[in-house]
Amino acid sequence: MSDPQGPDDEHRRPEGVSDETVEALGSLSKALETVERARGHLYAFHQLTGTADLELDRLVELLRGAGHEAWAERVETEILGRNVIPGHWTFQIVEAYDGTYYRAFRQLEQEAVEQLAAGRNHLFEAEMKEARRTRNHPDHTARPASPGTRTPTAPFD
Protein backbone atom coordinates (compact mmCIF):
# COMPACT_ATOMS: atom_id res chain seq x y z
CA MET A 1 0.00 0.00 0.00
CA SER A 2 1.32 3.41 -0.92
CA ASP A 3 1.61 6.49 1.26
CA PRO A 4 -1.84 8.13 1.27
CA GLN A 5 -0.16 11.54 1.43
CA GLY A 6 1.99 10.87 -1.63
CA PRO A 7 1.19 10.28 -5.29
CA ASP A 8 -1.12 7.44 -6.28
CA ASP A 9 0.37 4.15 -7.48
CA GLU A 10 -0.15 5.11 -11.15
CA HIS A 11 2.28 7.98 -10.66
CA ARG A 12 4.96 6.20 -8.64
CA ARG A 13 8.14 5.00 -10.24
CA PRO A 14 8.19 1.22 -10.63
CA GLU A 15 11.00 -0.73 -8.96
CA GLY A 16 14.21 -0.66 -11.01
CA VAL A 17 13.38 2.35 -13.20
CA SER A 18 16.38 4.70 -13.18
CA ASP A 19 16.47 8.48 -12.92
CA GLU A 20 17.80 8.58 -16.48
CA THR A 21 14.85 6.52 -17.75
CA VAL A 22 12.34 8.77 -15.99
CA GLU A 23 14.08 11.83 -17.45
CA ALA A 24 14.16 10.29 -20.92
CA LEU A 25 10.45 9.45 -20.77
CA GLY A 26 9.77 12.99 -19.57
CA SER A 27 11.62 14.31 -22.61
CA LEU A 28 9.65 11.99 -24.89
CA SER A 29 6.42 13.17 -23.29
CA LYS A 30 7.43 16.81 -23.79
CA ALA A 31 8.23 16.13 -27.45
CA LEU A 32 4.84 14.43 -27.93
CA GLU A 33 3.09 17.37 -26.28
CA THR A 34 4.82 19.65 -28.80
CA VAL A 35 3.66 17.41 -31.65
CA GLU A 36 0.12 17.57 -30.23
CA ARG A 37 0.32 21.37 -30.32
CA ALA A 38 1.66 21.30 -33.89
CA ARG A 39 -1.22 19.02 -34.85
CA GLY A 40 -3.64 21.48 -33.26
CA HIS A 41 -2.14 24.28 -35.34
CA LEU A 42 -2.52 22.10 -38.41
CA TYR A 43 -6.22 21.64 -37.61
CA ALA A 44 -6.52 25.40 -37.08
CA PHE A 45 -4.93 25.93 -40.51
CA HIS A 46 -7.42 23.42 -41.95
CA GLN A 47 -10.43 25.12 -40.35
CA LEU A 48 -9.32 28.68 -41.11
CA THR A 49 -8.62 27.86 -44.75
CA GLY A 50 -11.99 26.11 -45.04
CA THR A 51 -13.77 29.06 -43.47
CA ALA A 52 -12.09 31.45 -45.92
CA ASP A 53 -13.04 29.22 -48.85
CA LEU A 54 -16.69 29.12 -47.73
CA GLU A 55 -16.71 32.93 -47.36
CA LEU A 56 -15.77 33.15 -51.03
CA ASP A 57 -19.29 31.91 -51.87
CA ARG A 58 -20.68 35.06 -50.24
CA LEU A 59 -18.06 37.22 -51.97
CA VAL A 60 -18.97 35.83 -55.40
CA GLU A 61 -22.66 36.53 -54.70
CA LEU A 62 -21.88 40.08 -53.53
CA LEU A 63 -19.68 40.80 -56.55
CA ARG A 64 -22.39 39.54 -58.91
CA GLY A 65 -25.02 41.59 -57.08
CA ALA A 66 -22.86 44.68 -57.46
CA GLY A 67 -22.51 44.08 -61.19
CA HIS A 68 -18.90 42.84 -61.15
CA GLU A 69 -19.46 39.60 -63.04
CA ALA A 70 -15.87 39.38 -64.30
CA TRP A 71 -14.49 39.62 -60.74
CA ALA A 72 -17.02 37.11 -59.46
CA GLU A 73 -16.01 34.71 -62.22
CA ARG A 74 -12.33 35.23 -61.49
CA VAL A 75 -12.72 34.50 -57.75
CA GLU A 76 -14.87 31.47 -58.55
CA THR A 77 -12.46 29.97 -61.08
CA GLU A 78 -9.06 31.00 -59.69
CA ILE A 79 -9.44 30.75 -55.89
CA LEU A 80 -12.67 29.01 -54.82
CA GLY A 81 -11.89 25.33 -54.20
CA ARG A 82 -8.22 25.71 -55.13
CA ASN A 83 -5.63 23.25 -53.81
CA VAL A 84 -3.51 24.78 -51.02
CA ILE A 85 -0.48 22.80 -52.19
CA PRO A 86 -0.39 20.80 -55.44
CA GLY A 87 -3.05 18.10 -55.34
CA HIS A 88 -4.05 18.75 -51.72
CA TRP A 89 -6.81 20.38 -49.81
CA THR A 90 -6.11 20.94 -46.13
CA PHE A 91 -7.92 17.77 -45.01
CA GLN A 92 -5.47 15.75 -47.08
CA ILE A 93 -2.53 17.49 -45.41
CA VAL A 94 -4.01 16.63 -41.99
CA GLU A 95 -4.54 13.01 -43.07
CA ALA A 96 -0.98 12.74 -44.40
CA TYR A 97 0.47 14.22 -41.19
CA ASP A 98 -1.57 11.86 -39.05
CA GLY A 99 -0.75 8.77 -41.10
CA THR A 100 2.92 9.52 -41.73
CA TYR A 101 4.08 11.14 -38.51
CA TYR A 102 1.58 11.65 -35.70
CA ARG A 103 0.33 8.07 -35.26
CA ALA A 104 3.86 6.63 -35.42
CA PHE A 105 5.11 9.15 -32.83
CA ARG A 106 2.19 8.50 -30.48
CA GLN A 107 2.54 4.72 -30.83
CA LEU A 108 6.27 4.86 -30.07
CA GLU A 109 5.64 6.99 -26.97
CA GLN A 110 2.99 4.56 -25.70
CA GLU A 111 5.23 1.55 -26.29
CA ALA A 112 8.18 3.24 -24.53
CA VAL A 113 6.07 4.04 -21.46
CA GLU A 114 4.66 0.51 -21.41
CA GLN A 115 8.03 -1.22 -21.75
CA LEU A 116 10.27 1.14 -19.77
CA ALA A 117 7.91 2.27 -16.98
CA ALA A 118 5.28 -0.47 -16.65
CA GLY A 119 2.74 1.72 -18.44
CA ARG A 120 2.96 4.56 -15.93
CA ASN A 121 2.59 7.92 -17.62
CA HIS A 122 3.99 11.27 -16.49
CA LEU A 123 6.47 9.91 -13.94
CA PHE A 124 8.82 12.84 -14.49
CA GLU A 125 6.03 15.35 -13.86
CA ALA A 126 4.66 13.38 -10.88
CA GLU A 127 8.09 13.35 -9.26
CA MET A 128 8.55 17.07 -9.96
CA LYS A 129 5.16 17.74 -8.34
CA GLU A 130 6.12 15.69 -5.30
CA ALA A 131 9.43 17.55 -4.94
CA ARG A 132 7.83 20.99 -5.29
CA ARG A 133 4.65 20.70 -3.26
CA THR A 134 4.38 21.92 0.34
CA ARG A 135 3.39 19.11 2.66
CA ASN A 136 0.16 19.60 4.65
CA HIS A 137 -0.84 22.65 2.61
CA PRO A 138 -4.45 22.29 1.40
CA ASP A 139 -3.59 23.53 -2.10
CA HIS A 140 -0.54 21.27 -2.48
CA THR A 141 -2.17 17.85 -2.12
CA ALA A 142 -0.58 14.93 -3.92
CA ARG A 143 -3.85 13.60 -5.29
CA PRO A 144 -7.24 14.90 -6.35
CA ALA A 145 -9.88 14.91 -3.62
CA SER A 146 -11.93 11.75 -3.19
CA PRO A 147 -15.52 11.92 -4.43
CA GLY A 148 -17.64 13.75 -1.87
CA THR A 149 -14.64 15.50 -0.31
CA ARG A 150 -14.74 19.26 -0.27
CA THR A 151 -11.77 20.88 -1.99
CA PRO A 152 -10.12 24.05 -0.67
CA THR A 153 -11.36 27.31 -2.14
CA ALA A 154 -9.53 30.47 -3.00
CA PRO A 155 -9.94 33.42 -0.61
CA PHE A 156 -11.95 35.35 -3.19
CA ASP A 157 -14.58 32.62 -3.66
CB 157 within 8 A of CB 38: no
Query: Nearest CA to 22 among 152, 94, 120, 96?
Result: 120
Contact 143, 7 (CB under 8 A): yes
Model pLDDT for residues 124-153, shown as the tens digit of each residue? 998 889 889 888 888 888 888 777 766 555
Average confidence (pLDDT) per 10 residues, the chain, 157 residues: 73 93 95 98 98 98 98 97 97 98 98 96 90 88 76 53
Q: Where are the domains of the chain?
A: 15-132
